[in-house]
Structure 1
Amino acid sequence: MRYDSITEAIGNTPLVRIDADVHGLGNIDLYAKLELLNPFGSVKDRPAWHMARPLLEAAADGDGTVVELSSGNTAKALALLAGMHGLRFKSVTNRMRVPEIKELLLLLGAEIEELPGRSECLDPTDTDDPLTRFHQALAEPGNAYLHTDQYFNPRNAEAHAMGTGPEIVKDLDGRAPDWFIACVGTAGSSTGVARALREHHPRVGVVGLVAHKSDFIPGIRTMDEVQQVGLFDPATYDTIESVTSQEAIDGMITLIRRCGVLSGPTGGAAYHGAVRRLRAVDARLAQTGERQTAVFIVCDRAESYLSYVRERRPEVLGRPARGHSVASLTEAEVQERGKVLAVADARSWTATADPRPLVVDLRGPHAYAALHIEGSINIVDELFEELVRTGLPFSKRTPLLLVCPVGEKSLRFAALLTRMGHPDVRSLAGGVVAWRDAGAPLVRE
């Protein structure tokens, strides 16, 4: 195949059957759509090109800056596309969670601006959030940026409705699969593919996968976060289920070692969630003798996530296993050991207790600098977990109030420290968002 431009190589990715000996589903043919084989390395190549193309054509004089609120694969694809057209690219985010991606963006010539934000993602309903204000400013006429707006741009989903979905149907000999399992980030791929598949098979089952509560899987949102995405429509999905980071890594390892697919954790989450959901379906099919097909997407490659795996499963990379970690907690243990305080009780406790509790804010430094509880100290959750792995980071004589955006991460850390023997550690129920909504004072750095 010969192309005049690398953009012509976007799409037409393989659909590969996963051997039944690997997944154990005797009556379901499970296929992986290998979006990691797009030229820029991910499922985001399609919407990035589809969203950016009109803007790039309008800026044919080579002057301007493409901007996107992204710290991942969309930013990577847009940085390459902008550079090809002589334009600059700016990634705006409130937290770069994966160091390899940040370094790659810098290699691609991207400018990275980390704005303070009160939550870990864009919340368009929070008009005081600097990240939200920046997003709103991009929509104003006459601004200097070429904004692709992946969270609200219908061309995001359209790229998959026109490309990814029809390709799946074509490779299945003109039939839509019975099941489509998709991780939900911007909701573009799941929405667009589901739309295309249902044109051929109105009853195709669509399973959306989100990250479990306060867990972090690159490219996937939690259920709370996904509600803030403009393209997200619950009606798209027959069911929405959560996946943990440990399950995502398990699936990633299976795809790599058993299938030869160099999947990242998002593809691992999709594989694990698909097999888990389809086991019950497979049992029913065994009684009827019917066969069905299912498709999931492998979104990107493993190489960009070695630090992510090293942090959560060091033994996979030949390193000693970690000590105390949040990942080792069961949900039952979190509920049993994690103590929470409502805002009013927390205000009273921090003001009158003797000794005074130490308030530890686990958010990123930009979010902390924007607004925080007066007198609190800032230790980012990743650093806090590193401290915890070697033992209790504070004296047992020091009461602790842990704070995060919405009270989920802090609850897990409170449970972990309680397990380790700290007698008085509590989590702020609802986090900084609840504190703000209750009208409790917040200060700027």
Structure 2
Amino acid sequence: MRLDDMTEAIGNTPLVRVDPAVHGLRHIDLYAKMELLNPFGSLKDRAALAMLRPLLDGAVRRGDTVVELSSGNTAKALAMLAGLHGLPFKSITNRMKVPEVKDLLLLLGAEIEELPGQAECLDPADTEDPLTRMHQALAADGSGYVHTDQYFNDNNIEAHFAGTGAEIVKDLDGRAPDYFIACVGTAGSSTGVARALRQHDPDVRVIGLVARKSDFIPGIRTIDEVHEVGLFDPDVYDRLETISADEAIDGMLTLIRRCGTPAGPTGGGAYQGAVRHLRALDSSLTERRTAVFIVCDRMESYLSYLRERRPALFGRPARRNDHRSLSAAEVAAAPAIDVPEAQRWPGLVVDLRSPYAFQAQHIAGSINIVDEVFDELLHGGLPFSQRQPVLLVCPVGEKSARYAALLTRMGHPYARSLAGGVIAWRDAGATLVRD
């Protein structure tokens, strides 16, 4: 095979049958679309090329910088594509949560700008969110930037309609699968593939997987976050189901150890969600069915993510006072207070958001301890006196609830979470200050 450049290697990834001895389904053939075999390592290679290609001539002529609001695979693919054409690339995000991804982007020559954001995901309707204001500024003529705009660019969907989805049908001998199980991130791949499959068979069942609230799974958004994504259309999915970080890691390990597939946690979540959903149907089927999920990217970028959540995989002991060990009942029972009571709070207020978000807007008198740092403090024991009332604050009250539950388990009698987080505080008209 001889190619003129690496873009010609994007697409035409294999569709691989998963051994029934692994998944245990008796009446369903399960296939994995191996998008991790794209040249830059993920399914985002397709979308990046489709979004950038129509903008390239003008960008090269003007010497513009390619820019995207991304801290993951889209940024990596765009950095590679921009470099192919001698253009700089800039990644704008409100938080780089996976250290390996940040290091890789810097290695690729990308510039990274971290802006404050009210939440972990762009909310295009929130005009007070600095990340949203930057999104709007990038659309201005003469900005010196070419913005690929993955959250709103229909070429993101088209890349998977004409490419990924069409390839699945071709590889199934012109048939669409009965079930398509997809993780929902920007919603480009799930929407594009679903449209392609339903063009061949309107009865294809599409199951969307979102991350459990307060869980972080790279590449998968929570149900609250997906509604902030411009390409997300709930009508695409016959059903939305929740996947946890533990399930995603379990699925990832199965793909790596039993299927010879060096998948990342998104692919692991897709596999585990697919098997869970299909297992409930399998026993009632009398005819064979076919199901497809996507292995989105590779495992190498997520070793720190795994070390933090599964230290035993690397021969390390379990960490003390880990909020991930909390039961659902403990988290549900986490002590929380509403905004009026929080306005009268007599003790310490700890804001767990990123320093950029904290600098943009925060509760007067609060201190900023980023959740990862706070997590480290708790592994060593209580970081403050049991007599000190502590109110924990995060964007929407989910992470703070987990930490309030953990502090309660550790014996702190006066730890509370702000119900609804900073968003509830803002929506109630309570004062936020800027630093």
Asked if TM exceeds 0.5, the reply is yes
Give the match for residue 39 of structure 2.
Answer: 39
Matched, 1:20 2:20: yes
2:370 to 369, 380, 402: 380
Give the match for residue 309 of structure 1.
Answer: 306
**TM-score (structure 1 length as normaliser):** 0.97
Over residues 311-342 of structure 1, what are the superposed CA-to-partner deviations in whole Å (9 max), with x where a residue is unaligned?
Answer: 11111122111222121112112112x01111
Matched, 1:166 2:176: no
Q: Is the 8 A contact 2:349 2:366 kept in 1?
A: yes
Shift of 1:284: 1.1
Give the match for residue 371 of structure 1.
Answer: 361
Give the match for residue 187 of structure 2.
Answer: 187
Give the match for residue 345 of structure 1.
Answer: 341
Give the match for residue 60 of structure 2.
Answer: 60
Give the match for residue 412 of structure 2.
Answer: 422
Q: Is the 8 A contact 1:407 1:428 kept in 2?
A: yes
Residue pairs, 1:255-270, within 5 angstroms: 255-270=255-270
* Aligned-residue RMSD, C-alpha: 0.9
Match for 2:195: what amino acid? R
**TM-score (structure 2 length as normaliser):** 0.99
1:403 to 369, 373, 393: 393
Q: Which runs of 4+ in 1 moved over 6 A?
A: none
The CA distance in 2 between the partners of 1:328 and 1:64, in whole Å, is: 48
Residue pairs, 1:256-295, within 5 angstroms: 256-285=256-285, 288=286, 290-295=287-292
Q: Which runs of 5+ in 2 are unaligned?
A: none
Q: Is the 8 A contact 1:209 1:270 kept in 2?
A: yes
Q: Is the 8 A contact 1:34 1:299 kept in 2?
A: yes
Q: Is the 8 A contact 1:407 1:427 kept in 2?
A: yes
Give the match for residue 436 of structure 1.
Answer: 426
Give the match for residue 147 of structure 1.
Answer: 147
Match for 1:300: what amino acid? D
The CA distance in 1 between the partners of 2:282 and 2:319, in whole Å, is: 37
Shift of 1:62: 6.5
Shift of 1:26: 0.9
Residue pairs, 1:1-20, within 5 angstroms: 1-20=1-20
Shift of 1:111: 0.3
The CA distance in 1 between the partners of 2:307 and 2:72, in whole Å, is: 19
Give the match for residue 127 of structure 1.
Answer: 127
> What SS class does the counterpart of residue 296 from structure 1 fall into?
strand
Give the match for residue 326 of structure 2.
Answer: 329
> What SS class does the counterpart of residue 427 from structure 1 fall into?
strand
Give the match for residue 101 of structure 1.
Answer: 101
Q: Is the 8 A contact 1:47 1:155 kept in 2?
A: yes
Percent of matched pairs sharing the same residue: 72
The CA distance in 2 between the partners of 1:329 and 1:431, in whole Å, is: 20
Q: Is the 8 A contact 2:377 2:383 kept in 1?
A: yes
Shift of 1:390: 2.0
Shift of 1:57: 2.3
Q: Which runs of 5+ in 1 are unaligned?
A: 351-355
Over residues 329-365 of structure 1, what are the superposed CA-to-partner deviations in whole Å (9 max), with x where a residue is unaligned?
Answer: 12112112x01111011112x1xxxxx3110100011
The CA distance in 2 between the partners of 1:300 and 1:225, in whole Å, is: 21
Give the match for residue 353 of structure 1.
Answer: none
> What SS class does the counterpart of residue 177 from structure 1 fall into?
coil
Q: Is the 8 A contact 1:342 1:428 kept in 2?
A: yes
Over residues 9-30 of structure 1, what are the superposed CA-to-partner deviations in whole Å (9 max), with x where a residue is unaligned?
Answer: 0000011111111111111100
Match for 2:297: what amino acid? D
The CA distance in 2 between the partners of 1:203 and 1:330, in whole Å, is: 38
Over residues 289-323 of structure 1, what are the superposed CA-to-partner deviations in whole Å (9 max), with x where a residue is unaligned?
Answer: x1101000000000000000001111112211122
